[in-house]
Amino acid sequence: MENIRVYSHSACLSKDNGEGHPERKERLESILDSIRRIDDLSIELKEAPKAQYKDINLVHPQSYLDEIFEMIPSIGLVGVEKEPYADTLLCPDSKEAILRACGSGISASKDIMDGSFKRIFCAVRPPGHHAETSRVNGFCFLNNAAVAARYLQSSYDIKKIAIIDFDVHHGNGTQEIFYDDSSVLYASIHQHPLFPGTGLESETGVGNIFNAPIEAGTSSEEFLRIFNEKILVNVESFEPEVIIISAGFDAHKRDPLATINLNSEDYFTMTNDIVEIANRHSKGRVISFLEGGYDLQALSESIQSHFKGLSA
């Protein structure tokens, strides 16, 4: 059984999106409470440091960061995106949350490379997979998973990285960032049509993008079959040196933002399958980032299944 390190920070709880917003601090509180209740696994919680600009700049240009941080209000909230997506917001405490969320992946990368941990979970918000190179989108500012991937490639002798995204929404940001980069495989299963609207099977990049769009109402059994046939098979043959997971838990049947029917235990099955591939090809190295998931009970249960899979 593998030990799991968890990165998080209180700043990630201070990111406020206002009343009634689905991406709220209670999501992370529910996840952290649930992690603390796990008593049969070896889990170590650690504070996420702030990411440095030079590392973030491996993905996002400095002008983009400056633009975001200059928009941060001293009181209240400010919407960053134009209509119809006016729900990506900055609050006075945003900067530290954004930098700590991204910094978690940098520290996680160091940990898996120095061998201190093979499995890391970044329990952070804001999430990242909708953030493109120079575009804020879908509650996301910096693409935490993408920065970790680029950091690993630039700092270590790591070439091939697979990013597996089982959030119910397509990770348009991650796809855009790596669309022409054969060293990074991006594989996503997501409800379609649904926000952000991308993620057709015909979007293949340079043969490194694998999209599995699924219909509203898809059952747990069907989801897992498609995940196996269209995601895992391709990751297996890519033989990645590190696997990164964009772990959203909004394909759960209880989630209010989508209509897929996963049960909490299915997150064990998917994670366990990913870990088995990592054990075969990636020296067991897996970094998982919290993305979406908006029902507190589903989050609480699903995270325990995810951790059971990560520790296997």
Chain contacts with Zn ion (rule: CB under 5 A): 167, 169, 248, 250, 292
Shortest Å distance, C-beta 199 to Zn ion:
12
Shortest Å distance, C-beta 250 to Zn ion:
4
Shortest Å distance, C-beta 6 to Zn ion:
20
Q: Are strands 286-290 and 242-247 parallel, antiparallel or unpaired?
A: parallel
Cβ 7 vs Cβ 14: under 8 Å:
no
In the complex with Zn ion, the residue whose CB is nearer, 50 or 129, is: 129
| Alpha-carbon span 80 to 262, nearest angstrom | 32
In the complex with Zn ion, the residue whose CB is nearer, 248 or 309, is: 248
Cβ contacts of 111-118, under 8 Å, gap ≥ 24: 111/5, 112/242, 112/285, 112/286, 112/287, 113/152, 113/155, 113/156, 113/158, 113/285, 116/5, 117/2, 117/3, 117/4, 117/5, 118/2, 118/278, 118/283, 118/284, 118/285, 118/286
In the complex with Zn ion, the residue whose CB is nearer, 76 or 256, is: 256
Shortest Å distance, C-beta 107 to Zn ion:
24
| Residues in CB range of 89: below 8 A, 6 or more apart | 17, 18, 21, 77, 78, 79, 80
Residue matched to tokens 């991308």: 198
| Alpha-carbon span 72 to 105, nearest angstrom | 23
Cβ 95 vs Cβ 81: under 8 Å:
no
In the complex with Zn ion, the residue whose CB is nearer, 43 or 212, is: 212
In the complex with Zn ion, the residue whose CB is nearer, 141 or 151, is: 141
| Alpha-carbon span 189 to 300, nearest angstrom | 22
Cβ 292 vs Cβ 257: under 8 Å:
yes
Shortest Å distance, C-beta 90 to Zn ion:
20
| Alpha-carbon span 8 to 185, nearest angstrom | 26
Shortest Å distance, C-beta 297 to Zn ion:
17
Q: Which residue's CB comes closest to Zn ion?
A: 292
- The two tokens of residue 4 are 């799991």
- Active-site pick, 129, 130, 170, 190: 130
Residue matched to tokens 């597996």: 164
User: Is 130 an annotated catalytic residue?
Assistant: yes
In the complex with Zn ion, the residue whose CB is nearer, 46 or 135, is: 135
Residues labelled catalytic = 130
